[in-house]
Structure 1
Amino acid sequence: MKNLFLFLTLLVLTVSVNAQQNQVQKDSTKTEKLDEVLVKAVRVNATSPITHTNVTKEQLAKRNLGQDIPVLLNYLPSVVTTTDAGAGVGYTGIRVRGINAQSTNITLNGIPYNDAESLGTFWVNLGDFASSVESLQLQRGVGTSTNGSGAFGASINVLTDAVADEANGEISNSFGSFNTRKHTVKFSTGKLNNSTERSRSIEIAGRLSKINSDAYIDRASSDLKSYFLQAAYVDDNTLIKAITFSGHEITYQSWNGLEDLDLLANNRTFNTAGMYTDENGVTQFHEDEVDNYQQGHYQLHWNERYNNNWSTNLALNYTKGRGYFEQYKEDEPFNEYDLIPINIGGETIDKTDLIRRRWLDNNFYVVNAGANYKKNVLDLNFGLSYSSYIGDHFGEIIWARFASDSEIDDNYYNGQGNKKDFSLFTKATYRLNDKVSLYGDLQMRFVNYKTTGLTSDRINLLVDEQYNFFNPKAGITYELNDKNNLYFSYARANREPSRSDFENNPNIKPEQLNDFELGWRHNTRTFRINANAYYMLYNEQLVLTGAIDNTGTPIRANSGGSYRLGLELDAAVQISNKFAIQPNVTISSNKNKETFFQRDGVLENLGKTNISFSPELVAANALVFNPTNNFQMSLLSKYVGAQFMGNNDSEASKLESYFVNDFNVTYEIKPKSIFKTIILSALVNNIFNKKYISNGYYYTYDDTWSNPAVTATIEGTGYYPQATTNFLLGATLKF
């Protein structure tokens, strides 16, 4: 009821705001869609000196059978994806140019989506969100100024469903391996109450989805429910949208990975999460070792076009997230939970088996405002963004074998994070002549982050940091002719540490990136190629150490000076009217300039080392065959070169290269009645049954137990095996 009340409130605001609008004379020469103004401030156009790839809803739909958005983007240039549960449903991750998801900025209709404290992106909270995406743009490198935390490897700017002209409905169902199934219902009223005077109309549209999967990894199941609902008012010059979407996920934990190499070789689906030994010495698994979280988003967008030259946009957002992850823990010391030792039968008890929940309850508020001026040779954008985040962290014991002096609803830790983020930007494209365009982009960003209380390890975390970042960007595009253009750009980005960074190192530093991009674009009807060279020079880059904390979050550390130097090639060749090839390849060198590592008690200077999780070669290809207009077959191939999980070039931390292939088929039927179209689709993943690992972790510790006089460095690793051959089949009915 609360969600419905909030949505209806936004809807009332939509109608009342529109009633106050002055009538603007219709201009038939306008071609830019008002829907696209929602993301104009964070996107770039085809000739901008920013390296980017656009993805349409039609492209996403071909493989949208239940897997998360990162997996659907797996075949884009420089992209590496992974999934904890092994089959693309549940917790998934994306790396671009070797940089992890914490450094990839995500916006939904221009609203920041990255978690303000962890800086991560959790697509699992928005199951089947791809079914409500109109388009998205992946920018590699720093990209253009965006809202929220800065982009350090990429940004993904998502635009949700556009206003539909005509009423329509859609029922989509899919099922496949590991008992995976997706059920989606969509509708749109189309434009209602069309007025001939100003083409005034409203539209109401929505989606309900449910995804379930038992997963490739044992017990790593997912139960995902989500909805998307929007009401829109549109006329020739005004678009007002009230949007709400939400997801509730219950996902069995699988973030431990596998550290036992024998299990990896002989039982690679084994999951240690939830494992414990009962009073009889029998191995059991806690059935509720789950992540249980709900996240709701409420957005109001008002786009106004005043004449041929001026347009504005205003966006308000409220995001509510609340949930926990549950764990069974054995022999936990009382003092770690603020419990007092007890005496039973003359025996002092100071340890207990227990079940705990670690909670996160957060509120996120955003205001975005911007304006665009476009005339002749000048396209000018300027705007601001303000966000406020309040996150409560607390833990509770819901069961204990020995409860000591605990009371029901007691919290054994409490902490809070408060973050305020304010940014201003001005960006412009100026066309000097028919050949040369100049691009400039200036952003000031002010971040204040404060924490109070205890962490989940009951350590007092007191952070009070203020960051003032200046992020300039500039570029030039030279059009050789209507088929070729060259571009060069420079961009600087600064980024603050995350909450977990502060937990691991109170003296953690912000990171800075200077990004240089040089590219050539060639585009004809039958042949397209984008070639891009990049040099990303870092100061105090926050790189993955390879280790993870007790919630599966990767641990990061400042690396001093480091760089990424690479070449990206992305092409599409239309060999005939039925056959096309779409390859891309990235060759790169990713280095820490100087690395110090303590081995066996001795500090060593290892000199230049490889940056963790940064393969030197990433390649993909799509062989697309269209025997008829309504039938398509695609062979999708992905190669990821060897990579290190740590920064000391230890062979123990090396992930082997892998090459996998998927096969995708879509067939469209157009019946004469009832349905407009029926789309049948099939996806066979990993058709050659490759046993591969796309992600893992690496850690070291000093062993002084066996001989206190000798310090020996022990290396440990964990791996996330990915699914062998598996399939998904789907049918979509549109009417």
Structure 2
Amino acid sequence: MRKIYLLFVLLILIPWSTIAQQYTINGRVTNQKNNDPLPGAHVVVKNSNYSTVTDEEGNFTFGELTTGSYLLTVSYVGFKPISKDIYINKNKTINFSLSEDVIFGDEVIISAIRASDESPTTYTILDQAQIEKNNTGKDLPYIFNSTPSVVVSSDAGAGVGYTGMRIRGTDLTGINVTLNGVPVNDGESHSVYFVDLLDLASSISDVQIQRGVGTSTNGAASFGASININTGENSISPFAELSSAAGSFNTFKNTIMFGSGLLADKWNFSGRLSSVTSDGYIDRASSDLKSAYLSGSYVGTNNIFKAVILLGDEKTYQAWYGIPKDSLRTNRKFNPAGEMYDADGNFLGYYDNQTDNYTQNYYQLHYAHKFSDKISVTTSGFLTTGKGYYESYKNGEDYSDYGIKDTMIGNHNVNMTNLISQKWLDNKFYGINLTMNYTAENLTLNFGGGWNQYDGDHYGKIIWAQVIPLDWLNHNWYFNTGKKTDINIFAKANYNISDRLSLYGDLQYRTIDYKIDGTHDDLRNLTQNHEYSFFNPKAGIFYKLGENQNLYLSAGIANREPSRSIYRDADETQVISSERLLDVEFGYKLRNKTVNVEGNLFYMDYKNQFVNTGKINNVGAAIMTNVPKSYRAGIELIAGLNITKRLSWNMNATYSNNKINDFVAYVDDWTNGGQVVENIGSTDISFSPDIVAASNISFEPIDKLKVSLVTKYVGKQYIDNTSNNDRSLDPYLTNNINLYYSIETNFIKQIDFLVQFNNIFNEKYETNAWVYRYYLEGSDYNINGYFPQSEFNFMIGINLKF
């Protein structure tokens, strides 16, 4: 009887043990054309909860699959999807090779302005997977920080709020930023304010960062680099995602994302809501940021319609004044913004609402049509609206500075007061872009153009004062408008002479009409009109040395008009000229499964380049001046090595010389009036370090757990153009440890844990500064402000994917 019972138990257990057996699928997704990996490709097991994206090398893994038949589908923007029926009864390796599709995905919308694989252009691409592993709430510049030649800065010292970046020493006013092919740079200031694009990283499919002049794009001219951002890659499967992060300085990030998946094989919708709050490292440098993203698209056989809405709202406490150099050792977090004093000069405290408040919304409508396998057309219409103000408490302000006449109160003549002001900006930026793409076996042609219009109102109000005529409250004490029309056309060609050799040509013509009308906040008449016409040619050659090696050589010219602030801050006698850049690039690339090596020589020759004087205006923006001749020349090295299956090392380093050929400094003389002239001669360009380097050592001790040591070194930077060590930023070295762990469950498709320990060795450093020099009784003095960055800090995050 006992033997019968045991036999019965075995008969039951054997089939169940077979059913419970679990297997793993490994694979790699590559480009059929050149066998390059496709990172960020979507791999889906149909009719199941299993989906993933490929890593940097195009690899993917599925575990816990039981015996049975499955349908695997792989998709990637710009490529035809592939599906494979498979039967699993053991561990398997299944690879996919995707062929390019001229019109399949959203990539066609931006293809005309991007550098292709065989363009003689210096660029770096960050895919969705790379961005996701570093997205814990800091602004985009910090996600770009490990790419070549990049230096980032934060006013609040913690990467949230107002941030900036430079590439090869060029700041955001000279970096052309596009979002789905639409220009982002402000029409007047030329800058980009990532604080208004909160958590855009969560909606990015990929980013291409071009260094140097780069390819022709829509909007303002690239004058050192381009950042081309693509959002909202369509997901075949529906999804939902919740993410939260928390860390130092009471920093909290919360994001909700969703996607419909492909509906009726044609429609796709996705959205996001995000919120970030932080107290900042600097005293009172708080941020309260919100954003929303919504995208809807229709993909037909020959047509794509795509609508994008991006809404952003920010409230940040002002932190753009910096702190005096002598406070760096004693009180690094000091923030002078909002200081209040009584009539006797006694300190009363800080004004609570010394804040910057701004709402910026982006609306985009894209359409692409494929006439044939060779010809397609894309068009984009856009509207960007912005409105907001910054509010300031002012001590002892003269009536005359606001156009107010003296007031008699009893027997007393009152001509000054403490007050609270608001300075407003209300603008609209709108336009249309059109491109035509022709692709043949050996020839690719892109023709495009755009019309952009900027309309902005600048005005200021007094909302409170201790003593003031009532009719001046909420009355505009100044008002001026800026209207700018920008028209550009371009043509690009890439011709393959042979399987190894191709030639590239790029011609752009651009016209600008810019009008300023009205009075500035100091009551000066700003009325002026400027017209420019620019021709920007580029050419290059690309040569394949072998299957995995290539060389390229390119030369390009770019011209750029002055920004509003340059006209506004200029002295009456100052002659302002447009800038011109000749950029020459020579590069080498080697890539295989084990090693990735890139080297690039660059020479950037400037005529009338705008450089920092070292001064800032009343909103913390640098005051600029032309210099007749200057240059940037250097070498960029990039290396990646897969040491073992679980250990890899990626690094990049830039060594450069950044010089003004002959600089003359003009320093105010407080004793005699006028200015003291200093002939400096050859000198270093401000904020242009000779050495910038980054390193990332990644180790995967167990499956799905990645530990990375991220190192960044930035050499000495001068804060004006006199090459004086007393007016410089010390070199700094920071080290971060990043941990990323991912698990899959039956209910929640994927759970990602992110931990960032930043500046683990407590480096005290500054990334930005300003200085104002003057002579008094023959001695040289200066007033300065430095922007210290946080010491050790951390962020911990979790992403839940359904």
Question: So what's the TM-score if we normalise by structure 2?
Answer: 0.85
The amino acid of 2:709's aligned partner reads: L
CA distance in structure 2 between the aligned counterparts of 1:182 and 1:62, rounded to whole angstroms: 15
CA distance in structure 1 between the aligned counterparts of 2:753 and 2:795, rounded to whole angstroms: 11
The amino acid of 2:542's aligned partner reads: T
For 2:708, which of 634, 638, 646 is the aligned residue? 634
CA distance in structure 2 between the aligned counterparts of 1:176 and 1:469, rounded to whole angstroms: 48
Contact residue 423 and residue 444 of structure 1 kept, 8 A: yes
Q: 1:598 to 1:248 in 2, by over 3 A?
A: closer
For 1:274, which of 338, 363, 373 is the aligned residue? 338
Aligned residue for 1:697? 770
Aligned residue for 1:326? 391
Aligned residue for 1:687? 760
Q: For each residue in 1:352-375, what CA deviation from the matched residue of structure 2 results, as whole angstroms up to 9, or x when unmatched? A: 100000000001112000010000
CA distance in structure 1 between the aligned counterparts of 2:665 and 2:445, rounded to whole angstroms: 49
Contact residue 244 and residue 253 of structure 2 kept, 8 A: yes
CA distance in structure 1 between the aligned counterparts of 2:789 and 2:347, rounded to whole angstroms: 29
Aligned residue for 2:602? 534
The amino acid of 1:34's aligned partner reads: G
Matches within 5 A, 1:157-176: 157-176=228-247
Aligned residue for 1:96? 167
Contact residue 395 and residue 419 of structure 2 kept, 8 A: yes
Q: C-alpha displacement at 1:669, in angstroms?
A: 1.0
Aligned residue for 1:9? none
Q: For each residue in 1:690-711, what CA deviation from the matched residue of structure 2 results, as whole angstroms up to 9, or x when unmatched? A: 11111111221233xxxxxx45
Q: C-alpha displacement at 1:482, in angstroms?
A: 1.0
CA distance in structure 2 between the aligned counterparts of 1:132 and 1:457, rounded to whole angstroms: 41
The amino acid of 2:799's aligned partner reads: T
- Give the secondary-structure state (helix, strand or coil) at the position aligned to 2:328: helix
- Give the secondary-structure state (helix, strand or coil) at the position aligned to 1:540: strand
Q: C-alpha displacement at 1:598, in angstroms?
A: 4.0
Aligned residue for 1:67? 138
Aligned residue for 1:298? 363
Q: C-alpha displacement at 1:713, in angstroms?
A: 3.7
Aligned residue for 1:57? 128
CA distance in structure 1 between the aligned counterparts of 2:449 and 2:420, rounded to whole angstroms: 45
Contact residue 339 and residue 406 of structure 1 kept, 8 A: no
Q: Provide structure 2 residue ranges, at least 5 long, that are not aligned to the other structure.
A: 1-79, 83-98, 670-674
CA distance in structure 1 between the aligned counterparts of 2:475 and 2:536, rounded to whole angstroms: 45
- Give the secondary-structure state (helix, strand or coil) at the position aligned to 2:545: strand
For 2:372, which of 286, 301, 307 is the aligned residue? 307
CA distance in structure 1 between the aligned counterparts of 2:794 and 2:324, rounded to whole angstroms: 28
Aligned residues: 696
**2:726 maps to 1:662:** no
- Give the secondary-structure state (helix, strand or coil) at the position aligned to 1:131: helix
Q: C-alpha displacement at 1:715, in angstroms?
A: 2.4
The amino acid of 2:392's aligned partner reads: Q
**2:651 maps to 1:583:** yes
Contact residue 436 and residue 479 of structure 1 kept, 8 A: yes
**2:788 maps to 1:724:** no
CA distance in structure 2 between the aligned counterparts of 1:326 and 1:379, rounded to whole angstroms: 52
Q: C-alpha displacement at 1:279, in angstroms?
A: 5.7
CA distance in structure 1 between the aligned counterparts of 2:461 and 2:646, rounded to whole angstroms: 60
**2:112 maps to 1:31:** no
Range with bigger deviation, 596-605 or 536-545: 596-605
Q: For each residue in 1:305-345, what CA deviation from the matched residue of structure 2 results, as whole angstroms up to 9, or x when unmatched? A: 22210111010001110000000001101011111111123
Matches within 5 A, 1:433-452: 433-452=498-517
The amino acid of 1:566's aligned partner reads: G
Aligned residue for 1:402? 467
CA distance in structure 2 between the aligned counterparts of 1:331 and 1:597, rounded to whole angstroms: 32
CA distance in structure 1 between the aligned counterparts of 2:325 and 2:557, rounded to whole angstroms: 43
- The structure with the larger Rg is 2
For 1:234, which of 281, 291, 299 is the aligned residue? 299
Contact residue 340 and residue 404 of structure 1 kept, 8 A: no
- Give the secondary-structure state (helix, strand or coil) at the position aligned to 2:329: helix
For 1:612, which of 667, 678, 686 is the aligned residue? 686
- Give the secondary-structure state (helix, strand or coil) at the position aligned to 1:336: helix
Q: 1:260 to 1:576 in 2, by over 3 A?
A: closer
Contact residue 368 and residue 384 of structure 1 kept, 8 A: yes
Q: C-alpha displacement at 1:266, in angstroms?
A: 1.2
The amino acid of 1:273's aligned partner reads: A
CA distance in structure 1 between the aligned counterparts of 2:745 and 2:342, rounded to whole angstroms: 59
Matches within 5 A, 1:223-622: 223-261=288-326, 263-278=327-342, 281-404=346-469, 406-505=471-570, 507-598=575-666, 602-622=676-696
Q: C-alpha displacement at 1:602, in angstroms?
A: 4.6
CA distance in structure 1 between the aligned counterparts of 2:676 and 2:163, rounded to whole angstroms: 38
The amino acid of 1:43's aligned partner reads: R
Aligned residue for 1:208? 273
Q: C-alpha displacement at 1:712, in angstroms?
A: 4.1
CA distance in structure 2 between the aligned counterparts of 1:598 and 1:202, rounded to whole angstroms: 61
Contact residue 325 and residue 786 of structure 2 kept, 8 A: no
Q: C-alpha displacement at 1:101, in angstroms?
A: 1.1
- Give the secondary-structure state (helix, strand or coil) at the position aligned to 2:700: strand
Q: For each residue in 1:590-612, what CA deviation from the matched residue of structure 2 results, as whole angstroms up to 9, or x when unmatched? A: 00000112467653322100000
Aligned residue for 1:40? 111
Q: 1:278 to 1:598 in 2, by over 3 A?
A: closer
Q: 1:292 to 1:598 in 2, by over 3 A?
A: closer
Range with bigger deviation, 28-37 or 160-169: 28-37
Q: For each residue in 1:116-168, what CA deviation from the matched residue of structure 2 results, as whole angstroms up to 9, or x when unmatched? A: 00001000011111111110000000100111111111110000011111110
Contact residue 80 and residue 640 of structure 1 kept, 8 A: yes
Aligned residue for 2:56? none
After TM superposition, the runs of 4+ consecutive aligned structure 1 residues lying more than 6 A away are: 26-29
Aligned residue for 1:6? none
- Give the secondary-structure state (helix, strand or coil) at the position aligned to 1:503: helix
CA distance in structure 1 between the aligned counterparts of 2:100 and 2:738, rounded to whole angstroms: 39
Aligned residue for 1:650? 724
The amino acid of 1:120's aligned partner reads: S
Q: 1:282 to 1:714 in 2, by over 3 A?
A: closer
Contact residue 38 and residue 159 of structure 1 kept, 8 A: no
CA distance in structure 2 between the aligned counterparts of 1:598 and 1:91, rounded to whole angstroms: 30
Q: C-alpha displacement at 1:457, in angstroms?
A: 2.0
Contact residue 652 and residue 715 of structure 1 kept, 8 A: no
Contact residue 689 and residue 724 of structure 1 kept, 8 A: yes
Q: C-alpha displacement at 1:63, in angstroms?
A: 1.3
Question: So what's the TM-score if we normalise by structure 1?
Answer: 0.93
Contact residue 464 and residue 473 of structure 2 kept, 8 A: no
- Give the secondary-structure state (helix, strand or coil) at the position aligned to 1:266: coil
Q: For each residue in 1:68-96, what CA deviation from the matched residue of structure 2 results, as whole angstroms up to 9, or x when unmatched? A: 00011111100000000001000000100
CA distance in structure 2 between the aligned counterparts of 1:533 and 1:255, rounded to whole angstroms: 35
The amino acid of 2:337's aligned partner reads: A
CA distance in structure 2 between the aligned counterparts of 1:306 and 1:627, rounded to whole angstroms: 51
Q: C-alpha displacement at 1:650, in angstroms?
A: 1.9
Q: C-alpha displacement at 1:567, in angstroms?
A: 0.2
Contact residue 120 and residue 553 of structure 2 kept, 8 A: yes
Calculate percent identity across the aligned residue pairs: 43
- Give the secondary-structure state (helix, strand or coil) at the position aligned to 2:566: helix
CA distance in structure 2 between the aligned counterparts of 1:275 and 1:54, rounded to whole angstroms: 44
CA distance in structure 1 between the aligned counterparts of 2:538 and 2:678, rounded to whole angstroms: 38
